[in-house]
Amino acid sequence: MSKLTVVANIHAKPDQIELVKAELLKLVPITRAETGCINYDLHQDNEDPAHFTFYENWESREVWQEHMNAPHLAAYMAATDGAVDQFILAEMTQIG
């Protein structure tokens, strides 16, 4: 199994920034405690406060998939339904 890096870009609707931010922040401590999570870092764009990025490293794609099916992710999806304009996810492998 090789390490997986995930970069997730979330763009909140302009009138939903604080809701999305609060819900994303709830994910951080729960996810960091998950088996296989190496790091799970949330960032907010300095010039576009509606743009959030998670930079994540996982021991394997399999443990990341378990994370993606976790109850706290389902709760986030329900809480932010209709509040996110765009979600772009990249699964990456470090090559250098």
pLDDT at position 96 is: 87
Query: Is the sign of the CA dihedral 64, 62, 68, 49 positive or negative?
Result: positive
d(CA 54, CA 89): 9
β-partners of residue 54 are 8, 42
pLDDT tens digits for 9-51?
999 999 999 999 999 999 999 999 999 999 999 999 999 999 9
The pTM for the full model equals 0.94
Residue 1 pLDDT exceeds 70:
no
Secondary structure, 3-state, the chain: CCCEEEEEEEEECHHHHHHHHHHHHHHHHHHHCCCCEEEEEEEECCCCCCEEEEEEEECCHHHHHHHHCCHHHHHHHHHCCCCEEEEEEEEECCCC
Calculate the CA 36 to chain-centre distance: 15
pLDDT digits (tens, 9 = 90+) for 53-83: 999 999 999 999 999 999 999 999 999 999 9
